[in-house]
Each structure stands twice: as structure tokens, then as C-alpha cells.
Amino acid sequence: MTVGIVDYGLGNLGSVRNMLKRVGAQSVSVRTADEIAEVDKVLLPGVGAFDTGVTRLAEAGLIDALRDFAGTGRPLLGICLGMQLLLDGSDEGVKSGLGLIPGRSVRFDEKLGIRVPHMGWNLANPAREDPLVAELPEESRFYFVHSYHVVPERAEDTLAITDYGIPFSSMVRTGNVMGAQFHPEKSHTFGMTIMRNFAAL
């Protein structure tokens, strides 16, 4: 079973690859639609601005490829910006996302007395049982760096909740499409659990 890590010029592929290796998962970088079609699972990483991410995917011809992959029922996980790209759009930009999970990303409100971006370690509490969050210990902490947070259109798509001024969806899942706002590859044993669970889906 091979995890294809989408290489579109945004994201720390080396750290993701190393974490997958630590949990015993085989991974390859995928850069074309044909390569995406051949793998068993896809991981979409990402750092940076929403519109830049959409543009990079479009230039590489990967938007339809990712939608087609999701349509096969195989697991697709987006992390950080990659999670936000799964949505319909973001208040950060004007471009449309992949539209695989209904919802948008909105900016944290500094009026809540919080610093933006949200950066550092924070709890992510599972909102429901799911294989992706199985065997997470209580008080599981993950590493976050983001100014925008996901607001799913459907409450049932929230998989984990984090509090930063307000409770927000730090993990989402709709069928075989799932996302994590934090960086599991930088989150030590807690992130390792998420990656191991994803590799086992």
C-alpha cells in the first residue's frame, strides 16, 4: 500500500515522508495526474496562501486528478493548507477550492484577544469515533501554524475540535476525504498516531 505525497511546490515533503517511514508506510512523491491515479492513498500537504495553493495545483493539472481520486473511494488526507484546499473556498482568497468537503476557511478574529496566526501546540479533541483518531491518548497536543480556520457546512463533518479563542474544527472528514489543520509530521507521538492510522485505512 503506497501513499502518494502531492508535490506541487508547497509543503514540507521531507518531514511528511520521514514520518510515514517511521510508521512503516511506503510513500512516493506524485506530481502528475497519472501518478496520483496509481497510488493507494493520497496525502496533500501545504503551507502558504490559499489562492497560491489552488494556482499551483491547477498549473500542475492536479485539481481534476484529486477530485477523480476522491471519487474512487480511496483515502485522501489534506494537512494544514492542504486541508483548507479540500473546501469550497477561503476568505483568504478568491479562487475555488476542490469542493470535496462543503465549507470555507475564515480568519481568526483578533478581537477575541488572541494572536494571529495561531502558532504552537494545542489540544485536538476528537468529536466522534473514527479510525483516523483511534488510540489517541487524552490531552493529545499537535503543532499548529495558521491564520485561517475551517468552518464546515455540516457539523457532522467535524472530526476534532480545538479551542483558540473559539472552538474550531481542527480535523474534518467526509467519507474517504479527511483533513488535519495541524502538522502531524511535526507533532511527535500524537502526530505519529494520526499518520499510522491514515496509512492503515
pLDDT digit string (tens) for 93-149?
A: 999 999 999 999 999 999 999 999 999 999 999 999 999 999 998 889 999 999 999
Per-residue pLDDT band for 76 (boundaries 50, 70, 90) equals very high
pTM, whole model, 2 decimals? 0.97
SS3 assignment for 81-134: HHHHHCCCEECCCCCCCCCCCCEEEEECCHHHCCCCCEEEEEECEECCCCHHHC
Strand locations in 130-196 (E)? 141-146, 148-152, 158-164, 166-174, 177-180
Could you confirm whether 183 is annotated as catalytic?
A: yes
Out of 80, 92, 118, 146, the active site residue is: 80
Indicate if 185 belongs to the active site: yes
Catalytic residue among 92, 118, 149, 185: 185
Question: Among this protein's residues, is 149 annotated catalytic?
Answer: no
**Which one from 118, 146, 149, 183 is the annotated catalytic residue?**
183
Report the top-level CATH class of 2-200. Answer: alpha beta
Q: How many CA atoms lie within 13 A of 172 on its CB side?
A: 29
